[in-house]
Structure 1
């Protein structure tokens, strides 16, 4: 049996009786780095407002008081956050966790239909949103049976029609009664849910991944052990994460990468977070200078701009010491360009998924710049197998599907037993998760993602399930059959392209009429744009095809069409201009 085991050192004790806020706000740990005296924990990017540990604890307790007394938030109550990043987002998360509740965070780009799916599936009791998103939030609340008084505004001091978070905190501070904090028995953190985080898994509509407190805490400790900031034997100059460092918090906190690595691990490591509501490239550059940001935790499209945008030369980016990428592969070309723009910096990427509470592998501490194409080495405590197409286990240098076991592995999909059984495997008393990614692991432990077995498209780090778009497109009157594939895009990584078989009458109408064909393509693209978040739109275009290739059992031969699309794009790219 071939198991690949992390060579990054033994994993220390992972507490299994603490909630996430107890671990982050209240507890010490041998792997922990404490913030320096007077160092803020959180900074609001636009205003420069800061929060330290004392204020955070006060706000969390006040909000927990109000949520308990006003809305009866308690054991397993689900609270949905539908908002861009905000300095008070962690306050909401930790207050709900103090009460034993569960957080589900939704993409602020969601349409009401997409948000309603998440709210209904998780049976959310409260909806915390931003004033700019109040209209879709109220539409969802009405559809899901959430009364308007249970829609809470995150970003305003008060509101004439709706409750503001600030008002709840004030009421909680004044309250003479104190909430009862949920405390776990030994081992309970392994099963007590903290988050329903949404993932498309290997295919299909987004599913709610059940993430317990323990898995998040474990992944934080795995990162800390990997980089050994706490170890006095590691020279200061070799430490990637140090007390007093400052990092971006621009990755969305609804995404597992932003939620676990960017928020919880960074705070555990004594690092200040500059909370940014959305990505604006020049504002990011200004913030690096203003706050002397040392760590850029970003995704490939953002890093591409750092390499290529001429405005970069206007700013002094000397404070930057570490650049980390995730959520989608970082190409060799971008790594090389980053190393040229940021010489002598630590640059690397990792690999993970929602089902593993973020990370499986990351840039090793001993490397300055990650090996070309490598997703790093396994985090401490992680065990993986490479399962070849014939079901046998691969050795070093052999390709196959990556299957992962470790303390960061989650509990499956909420209310989806079929998908859970397909993805989460119980083998020899351990839970293993199928990643749907084809990998190769070298003798030295470096992990290389070589292909995607699962049918997902990664757009700017966000998952797009082709089946979701195909199901929607089949409702268009001109579409008889359809297959959606991802095609390469320099900025987004991949974008969706729809191969469409037209209804017979439409096919006759567009035959030989380029204007009619373009009109139908535009209508099909608009049909998706009107119903789906912008990253799911058909930025790769619409192509007409006589027949969708399928195997004898009727399964789409998606790989064939993906290869066709990429070949056609390559021809167009290198076609000489006459």
Structure 2
């Protein structure tokens, strides 16, 4: 049996009798260094106000008090204050529509909703739709004396006590609620700390990924756990707007960027980037979706001073299972890093046998940070969570040096004349074309080949001006893009389905392409073209 294990140090002791709030706010651990005096935990992006540990503790206590005084201890609400009370958190993305938020509330059976004032309109409508009374939609309370007894876990209870109902990305069907116990994020924090040896003073200062006082730019909620493990100050950016993001990097002299591929596309392709000083950036870390070799090469040229790496993980594995190692300043091109401490994986081929080094198959993973199940969804749970292992649904190859290469979602692989074609590979190559600002490749039916690739493309500003002013210019740009692929890829990977221009590529809040939306658009487009062709033939 072929099973791949982490080449890192042995996994440190993981406490299983602490809630996440107790571990983060109250405890010490050999793999969690104390922050130097005066180093903040959070930095408000707009004002620059710094929030330290004591203020975080006070606000958590105040919110826990407010909840305890008014509603008791049994309703799921928000993170650490909720965990102090022994309840469950389901965090929603602030950019959700009221329909998306309603789905999450009803699926999780949430009883109390806490909203930021900027999201209050959406929260009110979603609460109404989900049957949550107005008096259970709250903001923050602050009290200094404890009016509750903090929930203490029995030894081992942290492995089963639910901390989060985190919703999966929903790239296929509606999002599902993933049950994550307190033990899982604690384990992942320590796994990442061990992998990057954050307390190892034998590592030269210039080679350390993480240094005391580092400032991290984090936009997405999914990256907050990463911000805790790296022991840096996290600049909280409520909403991603590219120019404002560049301004924030400059204003805070950010050292770490935690990004998804579409953000890297903007960094590399947007004309405004050249107007900003990015010399403070020492690390750019990318997750959520595959980063192509071409795009990696582009960002390395943009940030030659920085470590550039990728990681891989999913909600069901409670964040990272692989990250670029300390030994690589730039990740192996196309790689999602190597297995972090305590992680084991199998690569399962289509016939059920286990792949060896260099052979593709579905990535199946286990380790201390795995989620438990999907909430109220036995069918999906049985498909994904199997005897302590998580089926990722991603096709992967593990190289001789332990690098993991995520080929693509298995359900998204195109079959062209019997050959497999990964959309992510073509999308990465398309971004190297000077007229392409963003892209998404889908398959469309073809009588001869079964299906062929079609590229939806967002043009650069200059190319868009040319295309909008002349049909001939638009046709010339399309032909150039098709040729760009044909000149560098094997014949069955050519864009035989053509090129279509769009204003934007649809993505979910974590940055993953909503390929199904454009797949449906492509099918409708081909049907319309077929009708036109039939009409002309009859005439």
> For the superposition of Structure 1 and Structure 2, which TM-score range results when normalised by the shorter chain?
0.7 to 0.9
1:533–1:18 distance in 2 versus 1, CA, 3 Å: closer
Q: What CA distance in whole angstroms lies between the structure 1 residues aligned with 2:276 and 2:94?
A: 30
Instruction: List aligned pairs for 1:381-400, cutoff 5 A.
Output: 381-400=342-361
Q: CA deviation at 1:121?
A: 1.4
Q: What residue number does 2:99 align with?
A: 113
Are 2:6 and 2:338, in contact at CA under 8 Å, matched by a contact in 1? yes
Q: What residue number does 2:292 align with?
A: 331
Q: What residue number does 1:217 align with?
A: 186
Q: Does 1:194 align with 2:153?
A: no
Q: What residue number does 2:89 align with?
A: 103
Of 370, 392, 396, 2:331 maps to 370
Of 127, 135, 138, 2:113 maps to 127
Scaled by the length of structure 2, the TM-score of the pair is 0.78
Q: What residue number does 1:412 align with?
A: 373
**Secondary structure of residue in 1 paired with 2:393:** strand
Q: What residue number does 1:568 align with?
A: none
Q: CA deviation at 1:288?
A: 1.6
Q: Does 1:144 align with 2:142?
A: no
Q: CA deviation at 1:66?
A: 0.7
**Secondary structure of residue in 2 paired with 1:104:** coil
Of 278, 288, 291, 1:317 maps to 278
**Secondary structure of residue in 1 paired with 2:373:** coil
**Secondary structure of residue in 1 paired with 2:264:** helix
Q: What CA distance in whole angstroms lies between the structure 1 residues aligned with 2:526 and 2:254?
A: 53
**Secondary structure of residue in 2 paired with 1:105:** coil
Number of aligned positions between the proteins? 448
Instruction: List aligned pairs for 1:247-262, cutoff 5 A.
Output: 247-251=216-220, 253=221, 258=222, 262=223
Q: CA deviation at 1:286?
A: 1.7
Q: What CA distance in whole angstroms lies between the structure 1 residues aligned with 2:7 and 2:131?
A: 51
Are 1:207 and 1:414, in contact at CA under 8 Å, matched by a contact in 2? yes
1:131–1:446 distance in 2 versus 1, CA, 3 Å: same
Q: What residue number does 2:33 align with?
A: 33
Q: What CA distance in whole angstroms lies between the structure 1 residues aligned with 2:510 and 2:443?
A: 15
Identify unmatched segments of 5+ residues in structure 2.
415-422, 432-436, 446-501, 528-539
Moved more, 281-290 or 417-426: 281-290
Cα RMSD (Å) of the superposition?
2.8
Q: CA deviation at 1:216?
A: 0.4
Scaled by the length of structure 1, the TM-score of the pair is 0.73
Q: What CA distance in whole angstroms lies between the structure 1 residues aligned with 2:47 and 2:319?
A: 30
Q: CA deviation at 1:146?
A: 0.7
Q: Does 1:281 align with 2:242?
A: yes
Q: What CA distance in whole angstroms lies between the structure 2 residues aligned with 1:454 and 1:496?
A: 11
Identify unmatched segments of 5+ residues in structure 1.
80-91, 153-163, 458-484, 500-524, 548-578
**Secondary structure of residue in 1 paired with 2:397:** strand
Q: What CA distance in whole angstroms lies between the structure 1 residues aligned with 2:444 and 2:239?
A: 29
Q: What CA distance in whole angstroms lies between the structure 1 residues aligned with 2:185 and 2:366?
A: 15
Q: CA deviation at 1:344?
A: 2.9
1:94–1:337 distance in 2 versus 1, CA, 3 Å: same
Q: What CA distance in whole angstroms lies between the structure 2 residues aligned with 1:342 and 1:312?
A: 11
Q: What CA distance in whole angstroms lies between the structure 2 residues aligned with 1:196 and 1:248?
A: 25
Q: CA deviation at 1:200?
A: 5.1
1:132–1:58 distance in 2 versus 1, CA, 3 Å: closer
1:183–1:220 distance in 2 versus 1, CA, 3 Å: same
**Secondary structure of residue in 1 paired with 2:89:** strand
Q: Does 1:450 align with 2:407?
A: yes
Of 384, 389, 396, 1:439 maps to 396
Q: What CA distance in whole angstroms lies between the structure 2 residues aligned with 1:383 and 1:192?
A: 24
Q: What CA distance in whole angstroms lies between the structure 1 residues aligned with 2:255 and 2:525?
A: 50
